[in-house]
A and B are shown apart, each in its own frame.
Chain A
Amino acid sequence: MAVMTMVQAINATLHEEMARDDRVVVFGQDVAKNGGVFRATEGLLDRFGAERVVDTPLSEAAIIGSAIGLAVAGMVPVAEIQFLGFTYQAFHQIAGQLARLRYRSDGRFTTPIVVRAPFGGGVRTPELHSDSIEAQFANCPGLKIAMPSSAADAKGLLAAAIRDPDPVLFLEPLRGYRAIRDDVPEGDLVVPLGQARTVRSGDDLVIIAWSYMVEVARRASVELEKEGIAARVLDLRTIVPLDVDAIREAVEACGRVVVVQEAPETAGFASEIVATIVDEAFYSLEAPVARVSAWDVPYPVGLLEDHYVPNVDRVVAAARRVLD
């Protein structure tokens, strides 16, 4: 075990996976010489050379599109989009192409591609750097979406994503890159895609979250504990595939649910979780499910950011509401 920040865990995993499989190529904007704007790809160029670690033009659609071709040629591309909000300029290649080449080629061409992208608020970025748009991709069958909340999971999920036969969006919380630090097991670690994790136990209510909102939920559960409330925290880890069994079990055990997401409320992935709970565990519910989301406005400028991203207070308030 070693204590690592999330970005260190990602960097170490990229090193390990590139060493393990020489088909893995890492490319994107500023990933080679500069080691990535967050240093996630630091040291890869020196160790693996300019053929496997490539700085690309500022060309999001060409990064995704060429990853598709590279994969068909037999490589294992790990592409970086500098910020998830920049995928708007490649959305057609992700949703219209990457997600469905296996499907439209009737299984002939597969795309074992990882697209890494940071997202999320709390670090006072310029416009379009913080948008939480995971639900837009969750509505694109063919993609898998991993959203780790710990350094250990970042390692295990990234290894799983790189070794997965399907395209995986690997979304990294900006705020968590250095703020999240935990014990990361040494050696090979693979966290299977589609298995949620209980971060904290409790059976008065369950707070369901993913990515950095797991940390917010965990802190809220600490606050609630002071009031004698035992809140379970369930980290989905991947939203596609979705661990429906874990959601059902948690709702059956707790009966009361808060779902926390960093995305705007309307049609965010939290809505999908609520619908899943209605389908799977309606009769276990003892109160309406609460959602804590960002507001239905575009991601705001820095001075307003703290009023937008869900925080511990709002999660605690929602928990009290479902317990009333």
Chain B
Amino acid sequence: MNVTVTDQLAQRSGLGPAELQDLLRRMIAARLFSSRCFSLQRQGRMGTMAPIDGAEALIVGAAAALDPATDWVLPQYREMHGLLRFGEEVLTTTVKYLRGDPAGGHFPAPIRIWPPQIALAAQIPQAVGLAWGMKLRREEGVVLVFFGDGATSEGDFYEGCNFAGVLDAPVIFLCNNNAWAISTPVRLQTRARSFAAKAEAFGFPGESVDGRDVLAVRDAVARARARAIAGGGPTLIEARSYRLGPHTTADDPGRYVPAAEIERERQRDPIDLFRRELEEAGLWNASFEEETRRDADARFDRALQAAEAATVRPDAFFDHVYDRPTARMERQRRELLEALSRDEIAAGGAGEPGGDRSGRPDRNRPE
């Protein structure tokens, strides 16, 4: 352990060696989980997914500043692999989500995470309402809502932030400015001098931080959280990062990202930066690295096994549209199950009506 460097790190972060190592472990694990999902998508075992690469520091750093017992997180759709501080079940649920299992939208209580949000910025006014409700109910806690640079061009961003300002709602708006919205660069997204500057229009503080620096993000979110809890209202934090991978498994950034740019950005990979810091402090070495990866792989294997073992009834989509299905939906359910049962008889099977209950997402895929 290099005492001087360790002291500097401790001074900068207020964290001890074990906590610093924990942050790096979570970042490495987040990328590994995401990469495993990426591979499974390529194998046809998962649907489209948005890899986390480049956002690990800001997600893990933000989560580290929250209290999972009192605070809520509303993700966009790129954050889940980095949110396991809220519970190991976050991973299983995320794997289910990416497999196309309806249970994948249900982070089990008491995990205070909302389902991933596909409509950009739609979660922002919802986060404001949740924070407003917590305030009305005198519950101590904050809401942190993730979104990207592209989402700040949506009306919901402006409406949500504006209303939050009026309400003094205990909410933290965390903008992951990763330079790209699929193929749209930030310069085509806004002429504002920064995303943090937009807070000025809402009447609450905005802060731009290095989103590659897990400690800087953790610190900014911790300060915003303390302000919110003290009744000081919302904060907009812009975390400047870089999307090191494609937008999603369906994207080819080779069409629009200059090769030199991505090479340059890879030199500032947030995981490498923090690993180097911990190595210099004598807090990290090859065996820590290997143990972290082995552990993360094993955890992913467990989550995948649990997710793939879960059964999905073919009529499951009728369950949670309303508190109770309407009479018309019950008729539709019977129609579906009868059709599946006919299929099964035609195929010579003799199982339960409803056919294959394994829930494999490729069940209806042509061979």
Contacts and interface: CB of A to CB of B under 8 A. Distances in A.
Interface in A44-103: 51, 56-57, 59, 61-62, 64-75, 77, 89, 92-93, 96-97, 100, 102-103
Given A104-B105, A105-B105, A105-B115, A65 B136 contact: no
B134 interface: yes
Given A106-B106, A242-B328, A66 B320 contact: no
A25 B136 CA distance: 10
Contacts of B155: 61, 89
A108 B122 contact: no
A194 B162 contact: no
Interface in B147-182: 155-156, 159-160, 162-163, 166
A12 to B, nearest CB: 24
Contact of A70 (B104, B133, B323, B328): B133
Interface in A224-282: 240-242, 244
Interface stretch (B39-47, B61-69, B123-131, B221-229): B123-131
Contacts of A240: 326
Q: Nearest 4 CB-CB pairs, A to B?
A: A73-B133, A69-B129, A65-B125, A66-B129
Given A57-B162, A92-B119, A69 B127 contact: yes
Interface string B106-120: 111100001100010
Contacts of B319: 106-107
Question: How extensive is the interface on chain B, given as a class?
Answer: 35 or more
B126 A108 contact: no
20 contacts: A25-B136, A51-B136, A57-B166, A59-B159, A62-B128, A62-B163, A65-B122, A66-B126, A68-B129, A69-B143, A70-B133, A71-B133, A75-B136, A92-B122, A105-B115, A106-B106, A108-B107, A109-B114, A241-B328, A242-B328
Contacts, number: 141
Interface of A: 25, 51, 56-57, 59, 61-62, 64-75, 77, 89, 92-93, 96-97, 100, 102-110, 141-142, 144, 164-166, 194, 240-242, 244
Contacts of A107: 106, 319-320
B212 to A, nearest CB: 31
Contacts of B139: 73
Chief secondary structure at chain B's binding surface: helix
A70 B156 contact: no
B130 A70 contact: yes
Contacts of A110: 323
A92 B323 CA distance: 22
B220 to A, nearest CB: 23
A194 B155 CA distance: 35
Contacts of B87: none
B321 A142 contact: yes
Interface in B7-44: none
A164 to B, nearest CB: 8
Nearest to A107: B320
B239 to A, nearest CB: 22
B163 A66 contact: yes
A97 B123 CA distance: 9
B125 A93 contact: yes
A47 B294 CA distance: 62
Contact of B129 (A51, A57, A65, A106): A65
B106 A61 contact: no
A61 to B, nearest CB: 5
Nearest to A98: B126
A267 to B, nearest CB: 18
Contacts of A100: 321
Interface in B296-345: 317, 319-323, 326-328
B93 to A, nearest CB: 9
B134 A73 contact: yes
Nearest to A56: B163
A140 to B, nearest CB: 10
B185 interface: no
A314 B156 CA distance: 43
Contacts of B134: 73
A92 B117 CA distance: 13
B114 A73 contact: no
A70 B156 CA distance: 16
A59 B122 contact: no
B129 A73 contact: yes
Contacts of B102: 106
B156 A61 contact: yes
A59 B162 CA distance: 9
Contacts of B128: 62, 65-66, 69
A89 B159 CA distance: 11
Contact of B322 (A77, A89, A92, A166): A166
Nearest to B96: A106
Contacts of A106: 102-106, 319-320
Nearest to B155: A61
Contacts of A105: 105-106, 114-115, 320
B284 interface: no
Contacts of A102: 320-323
B328 A69 contact: no
Contact of B130 (A72, A89, A93, A244): A72
A89 B155 CA distance: 9
A46 to B, nearest CB: 19
Contact of B126 (A65, A75, A104): A65
B137 interface: yes
B80 to A, nearest CB: 14
Nearest to B331: A244
A65 B159 CA distance: 10
Nearest to A144: B322
Contacts of A242: 326, 328
Contacts of A108: 105-109
Nearest to A52: B136
